Structure 1
Amino acid sequence: MSPQSKNTRIENLTNRRVDLVVDEYEAAGRFNEQSSSPLFSVLPRELRDIIWEYATAPFEDQSQKFDENTYYYRPGHTARLKSHTALLLTCRRAWLEANAMPMLQAEHSYYYHREAPDRRDTAWTAGLTALNRRNFGHLHLFVQMFAIRSLNCDPGRLRKYFLETAPVEGDFQPRMLHVTLRHTDWYWWESDQPLDLHGSWVQHILNSPDLRSTHTFKLELETLDYKIDQLNAIIQRIKTFESDEKETHIVNGKPTTTKFVLVDRQDSYTWEGPTNINNGNFAPYDGKDKLKYHVITLTWKLTFPKIPTAFVPELRRARRIQEADITHPSLRIPTLYIADTHRHWIPYMHGQRGRLYHQMRSGTVRQLPGWAIWGRMQNLAVEVLRISQKQDELAEEVRRLQFVERKGASAREQYRQRWASEGSLLRLTDDPVE
Structure 2
Amino acid sequence: MANTDSNAFQAADFVSKAAHEQSQSLLFSVLPGEIRNQIWSYALADYQDETQVYDDATCYKRPEYLAPRKTDTVLLRTCKRIYQEAWFLPWTHAEQIFYLTGTDRRPLRTTTVRDMQRTLLTISKTQTMPIIQHVRVFAQLYLLENGTKLQDILNLSFFYPKSITITIRHTDWWFWESDNNLHFDATWVDFCRFPNSLTELRVAFESLERKKDQIDDVVNQAIRGWTFRCKDDTELSAKDCKPEIMKWSGNATWGGRRWVRDETGPNKLDYYVSTAIWRPVSSTSDNENGTPRTYVTEGRRFPNLDATGYAQLDDQIPWVPTSVMRNANMAPDAPTRDVRRLLEESSDEEGEERFRESDDDSEQDDIASEDEDL
Answer yes or no: same fold by TM over 0.5. Answer: yes
Length-normalised TM-score, structure 2 = 0.63
Q: Do structure 1's residue 260 and structure 2's residue 236 form an aligned pair?
A: yes
Of 121, 124, 138, the residue aligned with 1:130 is: 121
Q: Are the aligned partners of 1:88 and 1:95 in contact in 2 as well (CA < 8 Å)? A: yes
Length-normalised TM-score, structure 1 = 0.55
Who is 2:206 aligned against?
222
Q: Distance in 2 between matches of 1:214 and 1:21?
A: 30
Of all paired residues, the percent bearing the same amino acid is 27
Instruction: Specify the SS of the correspondent of 2:243.
Output: strand
1:99 positional shift: 2.2
1:222 positional shift: 0.8
Who is 1:402 aligned against?
none
Q: Are the aligned partners of 1:275 and 1:288 in contact in 2 as well (CA < 8 Å)? A: no
Change (3 A) 1:301 1:41: farther
Who is 2:146 aligned against?
150
Q: Do structure 1's residue 297 and structure 2's residue 288 form an aligned pair?
A: no
Q: Encode CA deviations 1:229-274: one digit per residue, 9 max, x unaligned.
A: 01101111111245467783xxxxxxxx733243733221111112
Of 69, 82, 95, the residue aligned with 1:107 is: 95
Q: Do structure 1's residue 231 and structure 2's residue 215 form an aligned pair?
A: yes
Of 37, 46, 51, the residue aligned with 1:63 is: 51
Change (3 A) 1:203 1:48: farther
Superposed, 1:114-263 pairs within 5 Å as 114-128=105-119, 130-132=121-123, 134-135=129-130, 136-151=132-147, 158-161=150-153, 168=157, 171-205=158-192, 208=193, 210-241=194-225, 243=227, 248=232, 258-262=234-238
Of 86, 90, 98, the residue aligned with 2:74 is: 86
Change (3 A) 1:20 1:137: farther
Who is 2:343 aligned against?
none
Who is 2:34 aligned against?
46
Who is 1:364 aligned against?
none
Q: Structure 2: which amino acid aligns with 1:268? A: I
Q: Do structure 1's residue 282 and structure 2's residue 259 form an aligned pair?
A: yes
1:132 positional shift: 4.1
Instruction: Specify the SS of the correspondent of 1:117.
Output: coil
Q: Distance in 2 between matches of 1:193 and 1:247?
A: 35
Change (3 A) 1:145 1:4: closer
Q: Are the aligned partners of 1:187 and 1:193 in contact in 2 as well (CA < 8 Å)? A: yes
Instruction: Specify the SS of the correspondent of 1:79.
Output: coil
Who is 1:359 aligned against?
none
Q: Distance in 1 between matches of 2:230 and 2:160?
A: 17
Instruction: Specify the SS of the correspondent of 1:66.
Output: coil
Superposed, 1:356-395 pairs within 5 Å as none
Change (3 A) 1:132 1:117: farther
Q: Are the aligned partners of 1:203 and 1:241 in contact in 2 as well (CA < 8 Å)? A: no
Q: Distance in 1 between matches of 2:28 and 2:275?
A: 40
Instruction: Point out where structure 1 has 5 or more consecutive residues left out of the alignment.
Output: 9-17, 249-256, 312-434
Q: Distance in 1 between matches of 2:57 and 2:252?
A: 8
1:301 positional shift: 3.2
Who is 2:335 aligned against?
none
Instruction: Point out where structure 2 has 5 or more consecutive residues left out of the alignment.
Output: 293-374
1:198 positional shift: 2.1
Q: Distance in 2 between matches of 1:235 and 1:117?
A: 31
Change (3 A) 1:150 1:88: same
Q: Are the aligned partners of 1:181 and 1:220 in contact in 2 as well (CA < 8 Å)? A: yes
1:144 positional shift: 0.6
Q: Are the aligned partners of 2:230 and 2:236 in contact in 1 as well (CA < 8 Å)? A: no
Q: Which has the higher contact order (CA 8 A, sep 6+)?
A: 1
1:92 positional shift: 2.6
Q: Distance in 2 between matches of 1:293 and 1:19?
A: 43
Change (3 A) 1:240 1:80: same
Q: Are the aligned partners of 2:27 and 2:36 in contact in 1 as well (CA < 8 Å)? A: yes
Q: Which moved more, 1:224-233 or 1:30-39?
A: 30-39
Aligned Cα RMSD in Å? Answer: 3.4
Q: Are the aligned partners of 1:159 and 1:172 in contact in 2 as well (CA < 8 Å)? A: no
Q: Are the aligned partners of 2:250 and 2:270 in contact in 1 as well (CA < 8 Å)? A: yes
Q: Are the aligned partners of 1:75 and 1:271 in contact in 2 as well (CA < 8 Å)? A: yes
Change (3 A) 1:36 1:102: same
